[in-house]
Amino acid sequence: MKRTALQRKLNIIIFGHDTPSGKTFDLVLIWLIVISVLLVMLETVSWIEQEWGEWLIMIEWGFTVVFTLEYLVRIYVTERRWAYIRSFYGIVDLLSILPTYLGLFFTDARYLLIVRVLRVLRVFRVLKLVQYMSEANILVRSMKMSRRKIFVFFSTVLVLSTIFGSLMYIVEGPEHGFTSIPKSIYWTIVTITTVGYGDITPHTVMGQFIASAAMLTGYSIIAVPTGILTAELASEMQKERTQIVCPNCHHAGHESDAFHCKHCGSDLGRRS
Amino acid sequence: MKRTALQRKLNIIIFGHDTPSGKTFDLVLIWLIVISVLLVMLETVSWIEQEWGEWLIMIEWGFTVVFTLEYLVRIYVTERRWAYIRSFYGIVDLLSILPTYLGLFFTDARYLLIVRVLRVLRVFRVLKLVQYMSEANILVRSMKMSRRKIFVFFSTVLVLSTIFGSLMYIVEGPEHGFTSIPKSIYWTIVTITTVGYGDITPHTVMGQFIASAAMLTGYSIIAVPTGILTAELASEMQKERTQIVCPNCHHAGHESDAFHCKHCGSDLGRRS
Amino acid sequence: MKRTALQRKLNIIIFGHDTPSGKTFDLVLIWLIVISVLLVMLETVSWIEQEWGEWLIMIEWGFTVVFTLEYLVRIYVTERRWAYIRSFYGIVDLLSILPTYLGLFFTDARYLLIVRVLRVLRVFRVLKLVQYMSEANILVRSMKMSRRKIFVFFSTVLVLSTIFGSLMYIVEGPEHGFTSIPKSIYWTIVTITTVGYGDITPHTVMGQFIASAAMLTGYSIIAVPTGILTAELASEMQKERTQIVCPNCHHAGHESDAFHCKHCGSDLGRRS
Amino acid sequence: MKRTALQRKLNIIIFGHDTPSGKTFDLVLIWLIVISVLLVMLETVSWIEQEWGEWLIMIEWGFTVVFTLEYLVRIYVTERRWAYIRSFYGIVDLLSILPTYLGLFFTDARYLLIVRVLRVLRVFRVLKLVQYMSEANILVRSMKMSRRKIFVFFSTVLVLSTIFGSLMYIVEGPEHGFTSIPKSIYWTIVTITTVGYGDITPHTVMGQFIASAAMLTGYSIIAVPTGILTAELASEMQKERTQIVCPNCHHAGHESDAFHCKHCGSDLGRRS
């Protein structure tokens, strides 16, 4: 497929982020997304809905038209159409315009509500900007590096919650709000994560004793994810800092006390 | 005792984790355990119990028969029978089938439930053997290394809770829910761990002042277990990384992606 | 503008912090500020207001006169008047005396109160200059270094809150307290930060499940700011320590108690 | 003052911790303390008091006689009597026996209660053991090293609480439970430390917005004490590990990559 000059030009503006016009486009878009998400939220506040309801619907249609145009232009200018349409952001882009159109067919208040609220998913599009920041990259890389430790950690938390939850179900019983094991597990998670709503609380001495044990457990295992991520982040940040590149094989990531490239062995020219 | 070929073959499948059949067995077992634990939980939800109660009992018997067979086969194929039966997982395996049989004689099902939930502990047996082993090892080793620091920390927390609890009992008194020192200590643990149910709260100015002090104390000592574990984890992870020593100059501390010694430049003999 | 000897002398006392008289002035000032802020607070307690109201007003006027004099003297003795008046602390100094005078004309005391409480900000001026400076500097520098990571982190938290809040609004609905998306987002922040007031709680099974997911999410991402700051702080503190370089072999990284280079043994010239 | 053989012998048992008899004495004492503290707690539980009250008083007198004897013997055997009596543990030892005797004179239930509960201070004596553990030493040293950073941190938390508390007092007002600034500050501390009782909660949209800001602030500054302590602990633990002592000047604390003593410059004999 031969691409026209217009397509190429628009492609740089819409998908690029390095040119001034590309940056302006990104900035305008992100503000439109944030405002449209705020509007969806305000629509659910009853007194705003009653007083400004018609205006909000009109503005919503405005946004939908703009986002629809943007979606169509994106498809028009991109080189690999299906790749875009099936990508994460392609689907989010479609999901952010679909609900308004669906609202024309579903008029049952309950379904309409869900459809309308789904527009809040647009907020995911803001994340697009995040990927261009190296800070986010370090965070994401650290989390990826420690994902297996985190998995082991969460398995332990879930097993602990199951045991504590079942214990509390037996000790406290339905008369104190622990009506079933799943509900007791909900209570255990509320307790172990130190959220502590207080909608269900232990009333027996034994229950309060077990609850205290669960809290202290939660209080100490809160240390585990922090420890994992901190250790990983510290080593990632150190690597970032020591971006010494080998003059021979261009291998980067040497430590600050290295004289020789650890990959090809040639001198880094750093001997003082 | 001479072992038959069947015993040896089954032993590899049931206790081994490296062969394809051993892995499949583990995977099937873990799903059976998870589903059976979920069933025990659902049994406690009253409307599910009422509607599907008979089905759940039948499925439960199915699981019990399967787990009983598994337990007997395990005893049959293992070389050291008593060692298995008296081991932690051997006892858990027995405890996970016993309640259903006991349920025929004892009808107070409530206390038997908790024992059945213990099945979930068997998840650890399968988990620990798969690919997550080294990650779990680092975590467990770090916790073992810091267990005495953690003990000192918990002693301090308990002493603090006793002091704060007694103070609040005097200041607030039974009329504001602090009916006894043990209950006040329960409140102090709820507060220091930042759980904060709100089932008991200070009402006097003095009580709110002491509570604020307790919260700020809890807020700062939350740092201690995190600090201990992070420091230990960081050094464990570093150790993991620095097991590579240069055969020429004996300089240690090479990163896992190094082929050449960063000090003298000689080959580390690690090229894959 | 020619400055008199009096101006220079007062300048050292009021703006300086190294001379004995300057230190005494700082100490007296910090106590006056703390006491005056405490008074403003006590004024809002109804029974104190009723019993001691007139005394409090008189003392308040005393403080206002003292702070007004201080403000005028500061303007009088400083070399660059406009720079001081327009500086952050210059404005805080003015704001801390204005409300009492404005109180003569405006009688709604409630809104003036907050401005008077701002006096507490002046504590920072004195604090930052005394002996705690280098400690505060490390903290502030670490936070500045990690401000972009913190920004990425907060964006993620806000996006997550929006998604979780909207979900809960659909699942729980107005009949369980989730009356609008903004209120649901407030609930999500209360949950994710593990505060957990319990003024709004999920009542449906689905809602409790989503809430549990939100809690566990919050519980793990609590690790992120801690990890970021710890890694940054550790490297800042290490930098502080490793500013000493050997004059002979240029080996850096000596500890603060080192007299000899640990690499070549030559004197570091740091013996006190 | 000439000390008898008995005094010297008892001194080793009572104040020493290295001989078998000294260790046995410590162990017996610590159990007596823990049991006596538990008794004080149980006394405050009304149904236990009613049923076993007379027994508890008798046992309490038994403990008091034992502790009184121990206190007198301590004074008798120690070399420097006043130094012991005025020391922290000397005062705790006295405070742990005084209340029972005072109970003979004060019969007014309210004062008697306070006097009785004061016996719980005995728990401090358990801390004695802690000081002999090197783990506790590292913790205490790390906290001492970072005490100035912690002070700066707490000043900031208090100033923030004052500002947020005053804001909420104005925004929410007495009609929503924020009856005075001190109470609002109590609420702010409950919120910032993520305790979240829910006894006072914001009801206006503006108040919920400010509360969310306070929570997110608290959520991020929870990182600060953790970061400070972790960084300090990590460096303390590293020092502990590298206990290489100079053969010439006996200076310890060399790092693992040191060839020369950093104090006197002599060779450590560690060149490989």
For A232-268, how does the pLDDT look when each residue is reduced to its tens digit (9 = 90+)? 777 777 666 555 666 676 665 555 555 666 666 667 6
Mean pLDDT of B144-155: 77
Euclidean distance between CA atoms B62 and B77, whole angstroms: 23
**C208: amino acid identity, one letter:** Q
D72 part of contact set with chain B, CB < 8 Å: no
Q: Which residues on adjacent β-strands are paired with residue A267?
A: A260
Match 């002042």 to its residue by tokens: B209
| CB-based burial, D187-199: b 16+ in 10 Å, e otherwise | bbbbbbbbbbbbb
Give the CATH number of domain A5-127; options: 1.10.3720.10, 1.20.120.350, 1.10.10.10, 3.90.25.10: 1.20.120.350
Three-state secondary-structure class, residue A263: coil
Q: What is the pLDDT of residues D152-165, one digit of tens each?
A: 788 888 888 988 99
Is pLDDT at D234 greater than 70 in this prediction? yes
Considering chain D, what percentage of its residues have pLDDT values greater than 90?
11
The residue with greater pLDDT, C265 or D15, is D15
Euclidean distance between CA atoms D175 and B86, whole angstroms: 64
Is pLDDT at C185 greater than 80 in this prediction? yes
The residue with greater pLDDT, C126 or A193, is A193
Structure tokens at A86: 């099936």
Euclidean distance between CA atoms C112 and C64, whole angstroms: 14
Lowest mean pLDDT among A97-111, B202-216, C216-230, D39-53: A97-111
Q: What is the pLDDT of residues C200-223, one digit of tens each?
A: 999 998 999 999 999 988 887 777
The helix (H) or strand (E) run that includes residue B165 is helix B147-171
Contact D198 A194 (CB under 8 A): no
Euclidean distance between CA atoms C17 and C23, whole angstroms: 5
Q: Where are the alpha helices (DSSP H) in chain A?
A: 5-15, 20-43, 46-77, 81-86, 88-95, 98-102, 109-118, 127-130, 134-145, 147-172, 181-192, 205-221, 223-241
Using CB atoms, which residue from D133, D183, D194 is nearest to B152? D133
Exposed/middle/buried for residue A220 (C-beta within 10 Å: 0-12, 13-18, 19+): buried
B198 part of contact set with chain C, CB < 8 Å: yes
Q: Are D90 and D84 in contact (CB under 8 A)?
A: yes
Neighbouring chains of C at 3+ CB pairs within 8 Å? Answer: A, B, D
Is pLDDT at D237 greater than 60 in this prediction? yes
Residue-level pLDDT at B271? 54
CA distance A199 to chain C (A): 6
Residue-level pLDDT at A112? 65
If pLDDT is split at 50, 70 and 90, which confidence band does C252 have? low
Closest chain A residue to the Cα of C199, Cα to Cα: A197
Residues of C in contact with A197 (CB under 8 A): 196-198, 201
Cα dist from B159 to A267, B202, B240, D142, D241, whole Å: 59, 21, 37, 20, 30
Mean pLDDT of B153-168: 86
Q: Are A60 and A39 in contact (CB under 8 A)?
A: yes
Euclidean distance between CA atoms C146 and C225, whole angstroms: 9
Is pLDDT at D37 greater than 60 in this prediction? yes
Domain boundaries, chain C: 5-127, 147-224
Closest chain D residue to the Cα of B248, Cα to Cα: D272
Q: Which residues on adjacent β-strands are paired with residue C260?
A: C267
Contact D223 C232 (CB under 8 A): no
Residues of A in contact with C159 (CB under 8 A): 123-124, 126-127
Contact D220 C195 (CB under 8 A): no
Contact D222 B224 (CB under 8 A): no
Residue-level pLDDT at B183? 92
Among D13-27, D186-200, D246-260, the range of highest mean pLDDT: D186-200
Q: What is the mean pLDDT of chain B?
A: 79
* DSSP states along B11-73: HHHHH--SSHHHHHHHHHHHHHHHHHHHHHHHHTSHHHHHHHHHHHHHHHHHHHHHHHHHHHH
Using CB atoms, which residue from A185, A194, A208 is nearest to B193? A194
Here the ipTM equals 0.80
C137 part of contact set with chain B, CB < 8 Å: no
CA distance A196 to chain D (A): 8
Contact A197 C201 (CB under 8 A): yes
Is pLDDT at A61 greater than 80 in this prediction? yes
Q: What is the mean pLDDT of chain C?
A: 79
Count of CB atoms situated within 10 Å of the CB of B194: 27
Euclidean distance between CA atoms A205 and A176, whole angstroms: 12
Q: DSSP class of residue D4?
A: P
Angle at A101 between CA A99 and CA A102, to 5 degrees: 60
Euclidean distance between CA atoms B220 and D225, whole angstroms: 6
Q: Are C104 and D117 in contact (CB under 8 A)?
A: no
Q: Are C138 and C237 in contact (CB under 8 A)?
A: yes
* Nearest partner of B265 among D258, A268, C251, judged by Cα: A268
Considering chain A, what percentage of its residues have pLDDT values greater than 90?
11
Euclidean distance between CA atoms A146 and B134, whole angstroms: 12
Residue-level pLDDT at B213? 92
Euclidean distance between CA atoms B200 and A201, whole angstroms: 10
The residue with greater pLDDT, D9 or A189, is A189
Residue-level pLDDT at A272? 46
Three-state secondary-structure class, residue D179: coil
Angle at D161 between CA D160 and CA D167, to 5 degrees: 90
B224 part of contact set with chain D, CB < 8 Å: yes
Q: Which CATH architecture has domain A147-224?
A: Orthogonal Bundle (1.10)
B42 part of contact set with chain D, CB < 8 Å: no
Is pLDDT at C234 greater than 80 in this prediction? no
Residues of D in contact with A194 (CB under 8 A): 194
C182 part of contact set with chain A, CB < 8 Å: yes
Using CB atoms, which residue from D152, D182, D230 is nearest to C45? D182
Q: DSSP class of residue A176?
A: G
Query: Which residues of chain B from 227 to 266 reach within 8 Å of chain D, CB to CB?
Result: 227-228, 230-232, 234-235, 250
Count of CB atoms situated within 10 Å of the CB of C21: 13
Three-state secondary-structure class, residue D205: helix
Euclidean distance between CA atoms C228 and C224, whole angstroms: 6
Residues of C in contact with B195 (CB under 8 A): 196
**B200: amino acid identity, one letter:** I
Is pLDDT at D133 greater than 80 in this prediction? no
The residue with greater pLDDT, A169 or A153, is A169
Structure tokens at A226: 């922090």
Lowest mean pLDDT among A56-65, A153-162, A201-210, D217-226: D217-226
Using CB atoms, which residue from A183, A194, A226 is nearest to C194? A194
Is pLDDT at A131 greater than 70 in this prediction? no
Q: DSSP class of residue B193?
A: T
* DSSP states along chain C: -PPPHHHHHHHHHHH--SSHHHHHHHHHHHHHHHHHHHHHHHHTSHHHHHHHHHHHHHHHHHHHHHHHHHHHHHHHH-S-HHHHHHSHHHHHHHHTTHHHHHTTT---HHHHHHHHHGGGGHHHHHHTTSTTHHHHHHHHHHHHHTHHHHHHHHHHHHHHHHHHHHHHHHHT-GGGT--SHHHHHHHHHHHHTT----SS---SHHHHHHHHHHHHHHHHHTHHHHHHHHHHHHHHHHHHHT----TTT------TT-SB-TTT--B-S---
* Count of alpha carbons within 13 angstroms of residue D160, beta-carbon side: 21
The residue with greater pLDDT, C168 or C154, is C168
Match 């939350």 to its residue by tokens: B222
CA distance C216 to chain A (A): 7
Residue-level pLDDT at C144? 78
Is pLDDT at D257 greater than 60 in this prediction? no
Residues of A in contact with D198 (CB under 8 A): 197-198
Tell me, rounded to whole angstroms, the distance of Cα A109 from its chain centroid: 29
Using CB atoms, which residue from C196, C226, C230 is nearest to B196? C196
Is pLDDT at C176 greater than 70 in this prediction? yes
Contact B230 D232 (CB under 8 A): no
Lowest mean pLDDT among B100-109, B158-167, B232-241: B232-241
pTM: 0.82
Residue-level pLDDT at D243? 56
Lowest mean pLDDT among A62-71, B114-123, C31-40: B114-123
Residues of D in contact with B220 (CB under 8 A): 150, 154, 225
Residue-level pLDDT at A215? 92
Q: Which residues on adjacent β-strands are paired with residue D267?
A: D260
Mean pLDDT of A77-83: 85
Mean pLDDT of C56-64: 87
Euclidean distance between CA atoms A220 and B229, whole angstroms: 9
Residue-level pLDDT at C207? 93
Residues of A in contact with C212 (CB under 8 A): 185-186, 189-190
